[in-house]
Structure 1
């Protein structure tokens, strides 16, 4: 044990020597040292540095780049954390150009190229900083309210905590799907597609994204058609996440007979052109603004719908706060 301690020299010649005890830490000498493969003993050849990773020795750079070009943007982000070589390879603008043009295909290729110069000409920086609606999952809003039990004579029934969800799935073409249900995320995500039947009660609508504000509208069919207009604010918990939607307004109004005969695309396209909060499309049915059930939407990717915390019951998750 005596070899594990060292004694410092005296602080001053005139003062009394004060010993300082410390433990040696040999691993501190390893900091700042780059570990590289060592040539065989006695070898005098000056060969270039070879990457020790087996995947880099067996796959050429052209084939590795072809694999990266088939990945989704969020898979590319995870791959950048593997090693330094992958990080530099994945900064190639070709890998991010296709993702940007597909995400903002409504704007057109010419408009997207013009906006690219606002982000220093980098497609990757444009993907991270430009607001966009994610299409690789669904946005979920969990809402709860308390419903009092019915009182019968002198018997007091318990109070019930009711939980329901709002689901929104966006498409790059400007379409979106909307569903209001008490079913969990893993049950609804299987049917949130354009081939859903009328029994699933999944409604289609049009949406427009301006900066970070989303304006959407959809039509509830039936004997008395109802128009739902939604205004949302898009944000992200981290840079490029775009995983939160804050509801600003939910407005329902009636539709007159003349507009009900038009197709949804024609009618909804005219609705979203500068509509006001108190604007109605049927004089007999005024516009109603809904102030309840405005919890923020949380984005859930398709690969996480089975394990999402939103699948928990009310007993296991009595509250949920979206960051």
Structure 2
């Protein structure tokens, strides 16, 4: 099944629902960064969450950044996702591995750490980006993003995230976000019903592995609440805007003395993009040209 995002409404527009399948892009991230099992799960959950948050933005070019810094051995996660369905990200310690948690599942909370912060930056393409910081609740990603939505955006929300990774790689990844909008926010019975149904789910990845589609999952949760699934299906992909020209621009900012030192000591320069793992090589001749450009500009 292709990586995709679909949207739906229910309760006469009082409920907004978004679902994503991110299996392929999570597997691409795993391969690019040589991630461990638990690092794959942590990054995959965060990429799914970022895409879900970005989906509610309105202006073309809008993006969401999620940065998670906990006290666990994973150290940190950074993900950048766009309204256009593109996402990229990395973890600070991709090789860390931990034993399963008490439920026999990948211990994402232990890897991230339960003490720390989640930072969210929303960039709508003009003015100053909106940023917010909340304390981590569990380090399991889903709980922490839900806490952000309730405390910072004051929107009652239910979020289910999942990544299944085995010896053959990522075979299931994605999530569902359900939000109660202001017109229905005072309906406590509605909110309690949604909470109980989400809690009763067996998890996202078991449903996906059982062959359930996103519309079928929405039907299970919202089918008796006037569910309306929007017709557009948006394709999602791992995408990074890095390029060799951008690398040269960054090297140029180091200045003539540093560039000359690279030429003499290393006969060139090597740079690796943190987001996608792409390695770029700049020859001594290319560094020398940067020096020529700097002198011409001075």
Q: TM-score, normalised by structure 1?
A: 0.25
User: Which of these two proteins has the greater Rg computed from alpha carbons?
Assistant: 1
Q: TM-score, normalised by structure 2?
A: 0.26
Q: Which has the higher contact order (CA 8 A, sep 6+)?
A: 2
Kindly indicate which of the two structures has a greater share of residues assigned to helix: 2
Kindly indicate which of the two structures has a greater share of residues assigned to strand: 2
